[in-house]
Copies of this chain bind each other. A is one copy, B any other.
Amino acid sequence: MDFFDVISVDEARKGTIKTFKEYKFDIEEVGLLESNNRILAEDIYSNINVPEFNRSTVDGFAIKSKDSHGASESIPSLFNILGEVQMGKATSYSIKSGEAVYVPTGGMIPEGADGVVMIEYTEKLDESNLMVYRSISTNENIILKGDDIKIGEIALKKGRKVTPEVMGVLAALGISKVKVYKKPKFYIISTGDEIIDLEEKLELGKIRDINSYALYSLIVNLGGEVVGKSIVKDNYELLRKEVEKAIKVSDIVLISGGSSVGARDYTNKVINSFNGEGVFVHGISIKPGKPTIIGEGEGKLIFGLPGHPVSSIMVFKAIVEYYIKTKMNIESIDFKTKAIMDFNFPSSSGKETYQMVKLKEEDGKVYATPNFGKSGMITLLSDSDGYIVIKSYEEGIYKGEERDVFLF
């Protein structure tokens, strides 16, 4: 006895991608600092070598490395000091055998030199004579021209998130403006006669709106933007009006709540009342989260998420995040770790099951302990470290097996 024509998580993901295969997220050009945590919308080619010259990584003397061969504390090699390289300046020195030039860290290596001996291993006899107490190998203490980034190569791929190290690469290339995806615009509608917002008085039978706040944070952390947020009573006309408004200003509409049959019917009818394909996913074999519907109206993606906070958050992670990641070519944004399951958990539901776990470390091993609780409880999430995914074809979890834990 099932009210839903349920499909698998994978089918729901593919169906959504397929329906919106023509949908494009806009691209915008932003300043480098502004690009932090955004997603690159273009491959970044290097138009320079980094560095553009052979560069010393230490304070020391540039020499021909073979001139130092055999040098030691007891038998130093002798060099003729030509002079000093100025920081930030090109050098016109050219080194021949037996000659040395002082180069500070980051300074340019003179022509002819193929190694820098650290100042700690040298001794100046006078202004022009240097003793070297150590042998160096070819290119020791040098970053060669183009060693870091070569001219013409793809330095960063489209879909890469701008993290500190990516921003460092962009800065190294002198890129002051970068093309990133515009933040996807979301509109969150919480439905339910029992749902009240923060400022309202909590009366018996009512419950505070949890979902729209948790979804807000998920959206922002995913790189999206919340352009609207409202609570609507279980009423067809009111919900339709609000969705109509939402469609106009957003890329994705999330209708949360409506896990009861009646409320689900409203959501379904509302989505189908707009031009477009209407509801194309009527339930997903996911636990928690089954009563999820997905549709298209006026070209916009509309989700009917379950009312239970945990269900709604997990469906967001399973479907909405997947959609955004796929559309923006994001390689991965999940943090996961391996952990040893310290419990048996039969799961023959035929559903893709998201089981919350807590992690603990003992003797250098990480163990996952299940956190059972009802999906209506937000503390089921806030008391957990992450979750494991049990595929629909699996029979469950065996104690002792190692699995991926996706971290919150």
Residues of A within 8 A of B (CB): 1-3, 32-33, 36-37, 48, 50-53, 55, 57, 59, 86-91, 104-108, 119-121, 143, 147-149, 155-156, 162-176, 192-195, 198-199, 202-218, 220-221, 234, 259-263, 307-309, 313, 335-339, 364-366, 374-379, 381-382, 402, 407-408
Contacts and interface: CB of A to CB of B under 8 A. Distances in A.
Contact of A194 (B106, B193, B208, B382): B106
Given A51-B376, A87-B234, 19 more contacts: A36-B216, A36-B217, A51-B207, A55-B207, A57-B376, A87-B205, A88-B192, A88-B194, A88-B195, A104-B260, A105-B263, A108-B205, A164-B221, A164-B313, A168-B211, A170-B213, A172-B378, A173-B208, A364-B402
Given A308-B57, A337-B337, A88 B174 contact: no
Contacts of A379: 148-149, 155, 169
B309 A198 contact: no
A376 B149 CA distance: 12
Contacts of A165: 214, 313, 378, 381-382, 408
Contacts of A336: 337
14 contacts: A36-B216, A36-B221, A51-B376, A55-B376, A57-B376, A59-B261, A90-B204, A108-B204, A143-B377, A148-B376, A148-B379, A165-B381, A168-B211, A336-B337
B106 A216 contact: no
A141 to B, nearest CB: 9
A3 B208 CA distance: 62
A319 B228 CA distance: 40
A308 B59 CA distance: 13
A336 B1 CA distance: 44
Contact of A381 (B37, B168, B213, B408): B168
Closest 10 CB pairs of A and B: A88-B194, A88-B193, A165-B381, A168-B214, A171-B213, A164-B217, A90-B204, A337-B337, A104-B260, A87-B193
A1 B117 CA distance: 14
Contacts of A202: 48, 52, 174
B168 A210 contact: yes
A324 to B, nearest CB: 15
Contacts of A364: 402
B335 A198 contact: no
Contacts of A339: 338
Contact of A217 (B148, B162, B313): B162
Contact of A175 (B37, B88, B198): B198
Q: Which of A33, A51, A57, A217 has the most CB of B within 10 A?
A: A217
Given A52-B202, A59-B260, A143 B37 contact: no
Nearest to A204: B90
Report which residue of A51, A91, A199, A313 has the largest number of chain B beta carbons within 10 angstroms of its beta carbon: A51
Nearest to A31: B198
Given A48-B202, A204-B108, A335-B407, A169 B378 contact: yes
